[in-house]
Amino acid sequence: MPCCQCQAIESEFDPKTAAAELKRYRERGPARTTQMFIEALRAAKIEGTTLLDIGGGIGAIQHALLDLGISHAIAVEGSAAYLAASQDEARRRGHVDRVRYLHGDFVERADEISPADVVTLDRVICCYPDMPSLVARSSARARKLYGLVYPRDTWWNRAGLAFLNLLRRLRRDPFRVFAHRAADVEAAVRANGLAPLSHKQTLVWRVDVYVRREAMGTA
């Protein structure tokens, strides 16, 4: 990831933002699409599996799946503030000994990260300029299930994201959001031997879970 985007992520997802999101999560639970994501993974029988959660923010996916029976998780997060918030919630819920935390760009750190049964990216690829590298390297580490939440490939999303980027440019804010084509995302996932398992969507977001072909009999 370009250094400017790395720095922008730290600035965008700062301690104030992380604290507000953690407070909202504790009061209301996961966001709607995150809950949809969790339910889709739960239906695929995740008990006893391992998790690699990339860009997991305050850790909503990790906390839910640990409660549902995964054995342990690796959390890779580009925002130090979000990583700290996730650790705070893990301590509160008694999960901290079951999660390994890594700070940084997953693509740059991928070679030091072991495969996991389940790999998740919840609203991550829309913050990443090099989608092919991120999806290729992350899906390659999914032994069983691979899940993504990202903006639907629609004209209104493309227009909305372009408008947000324009506002940021005018404010000299370096953070950018990206509208990746769904066909390109799916092609990158399929290239690593995964096939669609479930798909849900809202007006803005799509929630996709893939399964490794040789694991279809157990998913």
Q: Is the pLDDT of residue 166 over 60?
A: yes
Give me the sheet containing 50-54, strands edge to edge. 99-103, 72-77, 50-54, 116-122, 142-151, 205-212, 194-201
Whole-number pLDDT of residue 77: 96
- In this prediction the pTM is 0.93
Return mean pLDDT, the chain. Answer: 93
- 177 pLDDT band, cuts 50/70/90, is very high
Give the three-class secondary structure for 171: coil
pLDDT, position 11: 83
Q: Name the residue range of residue 90's domain.
A: 3-215
pLDDT on residue 5 = 58
Nearest to 210 by CA among 151, 152, 150, 148: 148
What is the average pLDDT across 204-210? 98
| Residues 6+ positions from 88 with CB-CB distance below 8 Å | 22
Residue 86 pLDDT greater than 50, yes or no:
yes
Cα(117)–Cα(127) distance, rounded to whole angstroms? 24
Supply the pLDDT for residue 199.
97
The number of folded domains in the chain is 1
User: For residue 219, what pLDDT band results from cuts at 50, 70 and 90?
Assistant: very low
Give the percent of the chain with pLDDT over 70.
Answer: 95
Instruction: List the CATH number of the domain containing 30.
Output: 3.40.50.150
Cα–Cα distance measured from residue 103 to residue 84, given in angstroms and rounded to the nearest whole number: 10
Which residues are within 8 A (CB) of 105 and not within 5 positions of it... i.e. 6 or more apart?
Answer: 1, 6, 78
Average pLDDT in the 173-183 region?
A: 93
The pLDDT of residue 192 is above 50: yes
Q: What is the mean pLDDT of residues 157-186?
A: 94
β-bridge mates for residue 183, sequence order? none
Q: Are 150 and 206 in contact (CB under 8 A)?
A: yes
- Contact yes or no for 54/121 (Cβ under 8 A): yes
